[in-house]
Amino acid sequence: MIKIRIDLAKNSYYIFLKNNIFNYVAKCHKKNYPGCRAIIITDNNVKKFYLTSFTNNLSKNNVKFNSYCVFPGEKSKSFHSLENLTDKIIKKGVNRNDVIYALGGGVIGDLAGFLSSILLRGIKFIQIPTTLLSQVDSSVGGKTAINTKIGKNLVGTFFQPSAVFIDPNTLITLPKKEFLAGYAEVVKYSIIDDKLFFNWLNKNSKDTFNLKSENIYKIITTCIKKKAKIVKLDEKEKKTRMLLNLGHTFAHALENELNYKVRHGEAVSVGILMAMKLSQKLGYAKKEDYYVLENHLKSSKLPIKLKQLSNNKNWQIKSIINKMQTDKKSYKGNIQFILCKGIGAAFIKKDIDTNLLKKTIEEFYI
Amino acid sequence: MIKIRIDLAKNSYYIFLKNNIFNYVAKCHKKNYPGCRAIIITDNNVKKFYLTSFTNNLSKNNVKFNSYCVFPGEKSKSFHSLENLTDKIIKKGVNRNDVIYALGGGVIGDLAGFLSSILLRGIKFIQIPTTLLSQVDSSVGGKTAINTKIGKNLVGTFFQPSAVFIDPNTLITLPKKEFLAGYAEVVKYSIIDDKLFFNWLNKNSKDTFNLKSENIYKIITTCIKKKAKIVKLDEKEKKTRMLLNLGHTFAHALENELNYKVRHGEAVSVGILMAMKLSQKLGYAKKEDYYVLENHLKSSKLPIKLKQLSNNKNWQIKSIINKMQTDKKSYKGNIQFILCKGIGAAFIKKDIDTNLLKKTIEEFYI
């Protein structure tokens, strides 16, 4: 088993990596929270594969549990499901010593994490991420959120889990498209500050996509350690942590334009490429950087053009830019961009000319 | 002007007391948050008296603002108004440097505070409490909340304001009944740890109810300092802070039974009396303590019997006790009570016999 400490003073916690981890999770619960209930939140997709295995292990260890299931997808990150879950959980009885488990991908982690942070003004929260995206990204750092009509993740909290348990074997049942969407975030980490890692990803993608255990462990641990380092420096995203949003100001606007009917990671794929294009136009990155990145995303079968995100969308440049300006990272109406001085060298930049932004996005039409 | 520091390490803030305070609030905003918007949340009652005065002062100081109005009363502490406000505020544009102002009583403070803690994962929050209840109690300590179908304040956060501005003059427009409801919380503070203060209240109630300035300032500052001391010891309500819930386990159940169609303070009046009766039955308090408290509440025209909370309610003892058991202060199904060894000596007690509890509540039927 691999154990990684996320060092955040009194909010510190451990991430555990292990194949077939459910028995270990149940044993930890029994040991750390004797007599307390496990409240499991999952979605219909994940439920099919893993809920019984988890609850069987809880029962074997005499841990009482209740489970709650939401529909898969971003639509569940809403005030509506939040209220629904809250009412059901309170009705069954809950107290401040019970523990909420998020069993699923990023949506479940964001929703269950947010719920944990506000239910009875905060109860313990443990993540069991079952997608590549949530294993490498959303399970570290304590951001929780739901979406609003106007934008993504605009309502939420910073709330650290008490532990994260990752079972890389869950990736076997993950649809290929979902795996790839998570892979876009992996590529993002390499672009931020690790050219060597990017080169390794580029060279080893075949084995990675075949879920070679060694590759998966390397990818997950590398990304977690990178994120942990950044989050430690800046838990509340005052500055450094913004680097993790590379490509995300674009991606959030694109997702919103598509009414969230697109995978987050797919939007991120186009988003990081847009960020690299903008960096190139501003003279920070070279054409070569752009093409190396584009080629890797393309050969990974990740989207690199707007039309690949949606066949029948009539993209309106004004509307995209408007959405970017309401992103919560904008400061006094000024969007803060993460740009790159090439692969592995991201930085924060304000005051981007709107015309240049338009021209950049337009290049992704064809 | 009186200035009281609430000492909570990096969450510390000041409470300012001053008659006709709006001009000072506007000046502080201009100085501390230049270029940032004031987002005002209020209710229809408070709006009539104070919104224009506040916004005129903001305009005079060139502070941009938006104001949002909800219906008065506990019903506004709901997921519905939360979502409604969120959508409206985001639509008008908001960023992480803007400041939310809660202009109103406890409901507005709880709702706006909760919203501030989750909007964009937390933006600055300032309280301008306009009722006695919120001035002495809910504006100190950083508890925010909304209600759920099943219970009161079951969803919320611990989120400290950046400042609290109290204008005791706002009590002039406060309905007498509302003033009294707030006064019940004042009495609660004296019962917890200050017999001298209780005696002073008892002796000076006529002047107090006539809003004699000296009395009002003494009451507000005394209660704030008491609460500040307790909250400093135990911000997240692990133990000591529970003392502040004297009478509240009863009160929350009664309010819920009445579907919140009762003033919180009125339920608290009956609640602290029930706590004293229970303390007496268990031999902790004397009969005399009970009667002195009952007399003071009665002569203050606060309710001391269940029927005074509602004329036509058919109270069901089982249902009341059931509600108490789902209160978030209950631990593993065991209700934690705040009892008193007489006036000015509250303490925490678990394992209360349900039959004794029933008998206690039954005494409040007639």
CATH number for the domain spanning B316: value is: 1.20.1090.10
Three state DSSP letters for chain A = CEEEEECCHHHCEEEEECCCCHHHHHHHHHHHCCCCCEEEEEEHHHHHHHHHHHHHHHHHCCCCEEEEEECCCHHHCCHHHHHHHHHHHHHHCCCCCCEEEEEECHHHHHHHHHHHHHECCCCEEEEEECCHHHHHHHCCCCEEEECCCCCCCCEEEECCCCEEEECHHHHHHCCHHHHHHHHHHHHHHHHHHCHHHHHHHHHHHHHHHCCCHHHHHHHHHHHHHHHHHHHHHCCCCCCHHHHHHCCHHHHHHHHHHCCCCCCHHHHHHHHHHHHHHHHHHCCCCCHHHHHHHHHHHHHCCCCCCHHHHCCCCCCCHHHHHHHHHCCCCCECCECCEEEECCCCCEEEECCCCHHHHHHHHHCCCC
Q: How far is CA B227 from the centre of its chain?
A: 11
Q: What chain B residue is nearest to A88 in terms of C-alpha separation?
A: B150
| Cut 0.80: pTM above it | yes
Nearest to B331 among A95, A150, A237 (CB): A95
Task: Name the pairing type of β-strands A124-129 and A163-166.
Answer: parallel
Task: Name the pairing type of β-strands A99-104 and A124-129.
Answer: parallel
Chain B contact present for A111, CB below 8 A: no
End position of a domain, from candidates A156, A173, A190: A173
Give domain status of residue B291, yes or no. yes
Q: What chain A residue is nearest to B153 in terms of C-alpha separation?
A: A120
Chain B contact present for A331, CB below 8 A: yes
Nearest to B148 among A90, A97, A148 (CB): A90
Nearest chain B Cα distance for residue A87, angstroms: 7
Judging contacts by C-beta atoms under 8 Å, the chain A residues touching residue B154 are: 86, 90, 119-120
Q: Say yes or no to pLDDT of B331 above 60.
A: no
Dump pLDDT digits (tens) for B37-96.
999 999 999 999 999 999 999 999 999 999 999 999 889 999 999 999 999 999 998 999
Q: Are residues B112 and B238 in the same domain?
A: no
C-alpha–C-alpha distance, residues A275 and B302, integer Å? 64
Q: Say yes or no to pLDDT of B360 above 90.
A: yes
Chain B contact present for A87, CB below 8 A: yes
Chain B contact present for A86, CB below 8 A: yes
Domain housing B135: 2-173
Give domain status of residue B180, yes or no. no
Give domain status of residue B121, yes or no. yes
Best residue in B87, B155, B350 for a mutation probing chain A (most A CBs within 10 Å): B155
End position of a domain, from candidates A173, A208, A231: A173
Average pLDDT, chain B: 94
Dump pLDDT digits (tens) for A331-340.
555 678 999 9
Chain A contact present for B7, CB below 8 A: no
With beta carbons less than 8 A apart as the criterion, state whether A260 and A152 touch: yes
Q: Are residues A245 and A343 in the same domain?
A: yes
Average pLDDT, integer, range B196-205: 98
Q: Are residues A169 and A204 in the same domain?
A: no
What is residue A330's predicted lDDT score, i.e. its pLDDT?
59
End position of a domain, from candidates B121, B138, B173: B173
If one counts the domains in chain A, the total is 2
Q: Are residues B156 and B200 in the same domain?
A: no
What is residue B251's predicted lDDT score, i.e. its pLDDT?
95
Identity of the residue numbered B144: T
Give domain status of residue B326, yes or no. yes
Query: B18: domain CATH number?
Result: 3.40.50.1970
Q: Are residues A231 and A323 in the same domain?
A: yes
Judging contacts by C-beta atoms under 8 Å, the chain A residues touching residue B331 are: 95-97
What is residue B350's predicted lDDT score, i.e. its pLDDT?
87
Q: What chain B residue is nearest to A33 in terms of C-alpha separation?
A: B332
C-alpha–C-alpha distance, residues A212 and A294, integer Å? 24
Chain A contact present for B181, CB below 8 A: no
Q: Do A90 and B150 touch (CB under 8 A)?
A: yes
ipTM for the predicted complex: 0.89
**CA angle at residue A22 from A172 to A144, to 5 degrees?**
80
What would the two tokens of residue B260 be?
């919140």
Give domain status of residue B156, yes or no. yes
Give domain status of residue B182, yes or no. no
- Which residue ranges of chain A lie beneath pLDDT 50? none
With beta carbons less than 8 A apart as the criterion, state whether A207 and A167 touch: no
Q: Are residues A118 and A213 in the same domain?
A: no
Q: How far apart are the first and last CA of chain A?
A: 47
Q: Are residues A105 and A241 in the same domain?
A: no
Q: Do B97 and A332 touch (CB under 8 A)?
A: yes
Nearest chain A Cα distance for residue B326, angstroms: 7
Q: Are residues A134 and A194 in the same domain?
A: no
Judging contacts by C-beta atoms under 8 Å, the chain A residues touching residue B155 are: 86, 118-120
Chain B contact present for A252, CB below 8 A: no
C-alpha–C-alpha distance, residues B110 and B262, integer Å? 17
Q: Are residues B203 and B329 in the same domain?
A: yes
Q: Are residues A9 and A57 in the same domain?
A: yes
Q: Are residues B155 and B248 in the same domain?
A: no
Give domain status of residue B179, yes or no. no
C-alpha–C-alpha distance, residues B151 and A89, integer Å? 12
Q: Do B154 and A120 touch (CB under 8 A)?
A: yes
Residues paired with A346 in a beta bridge: A340
Q: Are residues A147 and A256 in the same domain?
A: no
Chain A contact present for B143, CB below 8 A: yes
Give domain status of residue B160, yes or no. yes
Q: Say yes or no to pLDDT of B110 above 70.
A: yes
